[in-house]
A and B are shown apart, each in its own frame.
Chain A
């Protein structure tokens, strides 16, 4: 009995002290010595391990940039692969510091789920892939089509909305596994494959006859994919938010991982502020003034990580499209650093 009482006392002590020791996420991350980022783990080009188990991808590089900003070392980040159901509870239960898992920013996630979405690191949208043989030019002509779609996703709901809104009949073919779903489509089991455009382009590039398939022009949903943090820690939110913006601004300013050292000598006051030559920006975030320099030097600017992971020269072969800088016809636009 005595031992039991002791046990209860210890347990209560742990609970209480843990409750008191509510430090900010930045302090916790610093004390731990590394950042923990939730990622998808199964999307090539965004977050996936290579054959040596090293994480690669756009989301992965975004998280590495945060580690570079906080620690000056892009490798001080641990990745936790999460499923779609797990990702939000894991963030709420503080198992991860930030979620970079191609998560779409929505109103309910911001409010009811208590999350803050940082700047978008990839603008995606749902589209349709069809065989050229069908001779269809627009998704509005898809009357009575059989559609291959992944069940239980916003993709499925978006497709349902689209067909209902346009008064079209459709027959969904739902298959749980992405790989099997794609196989079914390329084997001709359905007329249409619907998913995010980035996914469809990737699937087409590895299909037996890529030239036989076309992406329809309609994009039926907006999918702004962004890193996410919990409500209630504004400083940490700012760090995550401005890490993404730093990569975008660097591209706009023409700073790359190759020329960043030369840029330190630049006379442009904007670049001087950005790289911490004239101090202030880092301090405002609670970081070292070299934070942006470290991101660009160690990870690269947005254009670089885009080209490296999903750009035209990779297997995904995705054009910049919406993800080009605002000065080049896209909508990637970041707040000024001043």
Chain B
């Protein structure tokens, strides 16, 4: 009996097609058992019902550049409300022939923000760049020098106003919030009580009531003839409000620090400020990035509340367009447009925070 010896290697069999490739992926991920199969089918049916009509409405049957009367006869979306009123929605009462100025200001701002995404770019010169950029933006918006006609803040509106309120609001609220959190942890009784009272008072009232106080009650206490800029009042209210929330989030981070960290800092002879700056805050602030960002995102959206004190932010200019009889009833299109703008803002904030978390992570992967 001769032993059977396989001389040539067997042909390698591929795994059955039902287990690899597209089909395999579909099987393991979508039709894995009867329950998941059912869910998949339901989802597919749902998409089939929703997506084609949506595409038809938003793109195929839509009209883009017509009058309101034509829109009324169209089957699809009436994007004409956006294209016709775009400049008012974006820039509000800013003088029509000067609207290139806020446009450039916004572009500068977006450019600076985008460039700041990479932390390798953060150095002294880029800091100067920011300062110059802000001065240029302020000059462009306000005018009054070098032959640019002046534009009063009462005429600012739309997107620049929304960005102004949120970006300055958030940048000012963050350090204030950190200081309040530190104050609340302080061993000095007076400071601690002050901070606790402030935080609890502000958190105890809705933002709307702060805005109302700022715009309606506050001026009644001012001496006659003195008025404070309406935008500034709203800005301060937003800063005070957001700072109180940030303070509580940061406090959470501070409490998460192990006692040993403080003791180690003391052991190497660091004073309070150095302890905080070098040891505690870098770690604590990193821990609280996710909740901080969600506060910043909601503060960004909350700026639309300035509508109630008649500042014409992005949402208000859009609503105003909707009360023109020619465009009445096209609120869907208008609100979708505004929602997209807000989404862009919120999504880039969330995106950046995820990136920051990853970069700052000290854990081994």
Binding site for B on A (CB under 8 A): 14-15, 18-19, 21-22, 28, 41-44, 48-54, 78, 80-83, 85-86, 89-90, 92-95, 177-180, 182-183, 202-203, 205-206, 208, 315-316
Contacts and interface: CB of A to CB of B under 8 A. Distances in A.
Given A80-B310, A83-B309, A93 B220 contact: yes
Interface of B: 72, 84-85, 87-88, 91-96, 152, 154, 157, 212, 215-217, 219-220, 222-227, 308-310, 312, 319-326, 328-329, 331
Contacts of A18: 223-226
Given A19-B224, A78-B154, A208 B92 contact: no
Contacts of A22: 224
A316 B222 contact: no
B84 A86 contact: no
A76 B94 CA distance: 16
Interface of B is mostly: helix
A49 B216 contact: no
Contacts of B227: 93-95
B327 to A, nearest CB: 9
B324 A48 contact: yes
A54 B88 CA distance: 10
A179 B331 contact: yes
B92 A44 contact: no
B320 A21 contact: no
Contacts, number: 106
A261 to B, nearest CB: 30
A183 to B, nearest CB: 7
Contacts of B324: 44, 48, 50
Contacts of B319: 42, 177, 179
A53 B226 contact: no
Nearest to A83: B310
14 contacts: A15-B223, A18-B225, A41-B320, A42-B320, A43-B323, A48-B323, A49-B92, A54-B96, A82-B310, A89-B216, A177-B319, A179-B319, A203-B328, A208-B72
Given A81-B312, A83-B309, A52 B220 contact: no
B154 A80 contact: yes
Nearest to B308: A83
B223 A19 contact: yes
A14 B222 CA distance: 11
- Which of A43, A51, A85 is most buried by chain B, counting CB atoms within 10 A of its CB? A51
A21 B223 CA distance: 11
Contacts of B329: 179, 182-183, 206
B230 to A, nearest CB: 8
**Nearest 6 A-B pairs (CB), nearest first?**
A93-B219, A18-B223, A315-B325, A206-B325, A52-B96, A53-B93
Contacts of B91: 53
Contacts of A182: 328-329
Given A18-B225, A53-B95, A89 B88 contact: no
Given A95-B219, A206-B325, A51 B85 contact: yes
Contacts of B157: 53
A44 B224 CA distance: 33
Nearest to A315: B325
Contact of A179 (B212, B215, B222, B322): B322
A202 B325 contact: yes
Contacts of B215: 86
A14 B223 contact: yes
Contacts of B85: 51
Contacts of A14: 223, 226
